[in-house]
Amino acid sequence: MSQQRHYSPLDQVLIQADAALRTLLPFTGHTTRPSPAKLKDETLLSDQESRHVAGLMRINHTGEVCAQGLYQGQALTARLPHVRQAMEHAADEEIDHLAWCEQRIRELGSRPSLLNPIFYGLSFGIGATAGLISDRVSLGFVAATEDQVCKHLDHHLSQIPVTDEKSRAILEQMRVDEAQHSTTALNAGGLRFPAPVKMGMSLLSKVMTFSTYRI
């Protein structure tokens, strides 16, 4: 039988610092899956279209930065080992999305948001707080967050030019993955948040999308 490894407080700090750096610095690691855009041909976009798509992909990239912060914070404070492992596994899967979005942003001649460190820190704090309250609340927060992400992805897919198959392929695969994360969190016992809470989360999400589209 495998034994659960226990980390000292210093180990935990170093682990979290490493996760933050890997999230916020330009991606240099290896993804578990190749980008869905890899098999799609690049198409010629106008300057206006390129700027708009880059802005949308920048929003999605920051969303993945927030997901990393959220999951890392939850994993730090989760009480049950299987919940902690679920948070860490979800964070690993989101790394793919992070890398895919960053690569596409660079291809469009732009860069990730300068506000990412702020949003990572806020998300980490929210995740850690949710984990301290209870694992059920923590899992429920994951489900509610992923539902918000799916709505953003649907909205962005409706705005991306039909000819931009690369960006579209990335967002479509992300949509599938995020929906699965929400379902998994609820099936694991996550709390279904009431409508007022979801409305508050939606307002915070709008602040993020408005600011990171350009900055």
Candidates 34, 92, 91, 67; CA nearest to 153 is 67
Q: How far is CA 22 from the centre of its chain?
A: 14
Give the H or E element holding residue 86: helix 81-107
Locate the DSSP E strands across the chain.
none
Is 178 annotated to bind a ligand? Reply is yes
Residue with tokens 């596994």: 89
Is 172 annotated to bind a ligand? Reply is no
Cα–Cα–Cα angle for 87, 183, 195, nearest 5°?
100
Is 94 annotated to bind a ligand? Reply is yes
- Cα 95 to Cα 65, 101, 104, 117, 181: the distances in Å are 9, 10, 14, 16, 14
Is 97 annotated to bind a ligand? Reply is yes
Binding residue ranges = 64, 94, 97, 146, 178, 181
Binding residue ranges for Fe cation = 64, 94, 97, 146, 178, 181
